[in-house]
Amino acid sequence: MTFADKLEALRTKFESLEPELEVTVKDEAEGVEGYVVVWNTKISENGPLHKCGKGGTRIHDKLSMDEVKMLAKTMALKNAAAGLPLGGSKSGLKADPKSAGFEKKYRRFVDLCRPYLHENGGIFGGFGFDIGANPIHAHWACDELGSTRSFTGKSPEMGGTDYDREGIAGLGVAVSAKTVLEECGKVVQGTSFSVQGIGAMGAAVIRYFSEYGGVLKVVSDPRLNGTWELKDAPTDELIKALSVQDIRVIKSCLSKEATQISDSSDDPLYADVDVAFPCAVQNVITSENVDRIRAPFLVEGANNPTYAHGYAVLASHGVYVVPDFIANPGGVIAAFVELTSDSSEKAEEAKKMTRSKITMNVKEMVALAKEHNVLPREAGLFLAYNRVFTEVE
């Protein structure tokens, strides 16, 4: 069989999988409706989290079971791509997290999910952070359950890694960029880069890739009213402010160090830099703007930022793409550490594992793409699909 045949066979096998848990939890009297879906726990058999799937908890008032199923299946692929013996899961609450009485709804949702939790003999690894989440949710969930076991991303004081505040997902994306540059014979020191979006992901990418020697050139965020181009290398004050999302200080620094080049937040994607990091939302690289990408390396911090055919178009333009499921699983790696480690320094342990696993995975992806003359994304998918159906050590 050719590489393409093998990849298609694995893809077909993966797409034929069915969820092992698909449940809607409801309390009509309280106006509560939520969902839990778990895929592919076979990958975790006999591991430290036997028969378990993990992912975050999404909250918004338009949430549906179909959305949660799709996200959970994506997590199954991402967890396998990360080299974790861990199935994929997603939970979600259909509610407005800013509405009056939300705490009561959230607590009731957590209670309704109790029978499915891994710590109670189920296959659902527990709750975590996603769209709509807030740090206080960890306190509510752990209080409701009387346990800190089933919520990941919580503070170190609660036995967690605090992976959003520590920027562990963004660390993984920075490691991906560093590794792909080195594997392609490039020097990281002095590499210019742009970042679209300075939420938790983008802020951490700026922090860690700067530490590796990258030089921020272009940055955008709706809170900054568009896109800014640095006149020279950014000051330490600006990098620190960006790393912690201190918007007041960021604006003050940018007024002195940069020029606003547009009121659009998309322009970092088109910047004349060595590496572009889309770190905002999905579907930002489309058939209408793909030809405007100029950076020779694109490392995906956001989930699904590029439309499906865009990878081939980018490759035809000489753009090397590290896909999201290879670049950004630092959050779930941290969650795995949080659930399995007895260390008092879980955040540092999670960072160490993130650096190790993502470096290895990017190297394997680059080598496989080169060996078979295929797109890096196809090589990454092959690794992920293969691990779904092969025991992960």
SS (H, E, C) the chain: CCHHHHHHHHHHHHHCCCCCEEEEEEECCCCEEEEEEEECHHHHCCCCCCCCEECCEEEECCCCHHHHHHHHHHHHHHHHHCCCCCEEEEEEEECCCCCCCHHHHHHHHHHHHHHHEHHHCCCECCECCCCCCCHHHHHHHHHHHCCCCCECCCCHHHCCCCHHHHCHHHHHHHHHHHHHHHHCCCCCCCCEEEEECCCHHHHHHHHHHHHCCCEEEEEEEHHHCEEEEECCCCCHHHHHHHHCCCHHHHHHHHHHHEEEEECCCCHHHHCCCCEEEECCCCCCECCCCHHHCCCCEEECCCCCCECCCHHHHHHHCCCEEECHHHHCCHHHHHHHHHHHCCCCCHHHHHHHHHHHHHHHHHHHHHHHHHHHCCCHHHHHHHHHHHHHCCCCC
% of residues, the chain, pLDDT over 90 = 84
Residue 390 binned pLDDT confidence (cut-offs 50, 70, 90): confident
Which of 327, 342, 375 is at the close of a domain?
Answer: 327
User: What's the burial of 236, exposed, middle or buried (CB within 10 Å: 0-12/13-18/19+)?
Assistant: exposed
Together in a domain, 43 and 117? yes
pLDDT of residue 281: 79
The domain that contains 189 carries what CATH number? Answer: 3.40.50.720
Both tokens assigned to 146: 């009387």
Q: What does the pLDDT average to over 305-314? A: 92
Asked if 112 and 31 touch (Cβ cutoff 8 Å), the reply is: no
Together in a domain, 143 and 189? no
pLDDT of residue 260: 95
CA 199 to chain centre: 12
Does the pLDDT value for residue 391 go beyond 60?
Answer: no
- Is 160 part of any domain? no
Asked if 61 and 102 touch (Cβ cutoff 8 Å), the reply is: no
Together in a domain, 249 and 117? no
Query: pLDDT tens, 208-243?
Result: 999 999 999 999 999 999 999 999 999 999 999 999
- Is 129 part of any domain? yes
Does the pLDDT value for residue 164 go beyond 90?
Answer: no
Together in a domain, 135 and 175? no
Which of 121, 149, 177 is at the close of a domain?
Answer: 149
Q: Which amino acid, one-letter code, is at 19?
A: P
Q: Which amino acid, one-letter code, is at 223?
A: R
Query: pLDDT tens, 8-61?
Result: 999 999 999 999 999 999 999 999 999 999 999 999 998 899 999 999 999 999
Together in a domain, 177 and 298? yes
Averaged pLDDT of the chain? 93
Together in a domain, 193 and 282? yes
Residue 254 binned pLDDT confidence (cut-offs 50, 70, 90): very high
Q: What does the pLDDT average to over 61-76? A: 93
Both tokens assigned to 111: 């209670």
Number of domains in the chain: 2
pLDDT of residue 343: 83
pLDDT of residue 393: 42
Q: What does the pLDDT average to over 89-115? A: 96
Together in a domain, 201 and 276? yes
Together in a domain, 235 and 139? no
Q: Which residues of 239-272 are buried (b: 16+ CB within 10 A; e: fewer)?
A: bbbbbebbeeebeebbeebbeeeeeebbbbbbbe
- Is 234 part of any domain? yes
pTM of the model: 0.90
- Is 279 part of any domain? yes
% of residues, the chain, pLDDT over 70 = 99
pLDDT of residue 392: 47
Which of 279, 306, 327 is at the close of a domain?
Answer: 327
Residue 303 binned pLDDT confidence (cut-offs 50, 70, 90): confident
CA 264 to chain centre: 24
Residue 370 binned pLDDT confidence (cut-offs 50, 70, 90): very high
> Vertex 161, ends 100 and 281: CA angle to 5°?
60
Give the residue among 338, 391, 361, 382 at the shortest CA–CA distance from 168: 338
- Is 117 part of any domain? yes
Together in a domain, 224 and 107? no
Separation between Cα atoms, residue 356 and residue 310, nearest integer Å: 29
Together in a domain, 321 and 199? yes
- Is 344 part of any domain? no
- Is 156 part of any domain? no
Together in a domain, 114 and 248? no
- Is 389 part of any domain? no
* Segments forming the whole domain that contains residue 220: 168-327
Residue 315 binned pLDDT confidence (cut-offs 50, 70, 90): very high
Does the pLDDT value for residue 264 go beyond 60?
Answer: yes
The domain that contains 68 carries what CATH number? Answer: 3.40.50.10860
Does the pLDDT value for residue 177 go beyond 50?
Answer: yes
Together in a domain, 113 and 186? no
Bridge partners (DSSP) of residue 193 are 216, 275
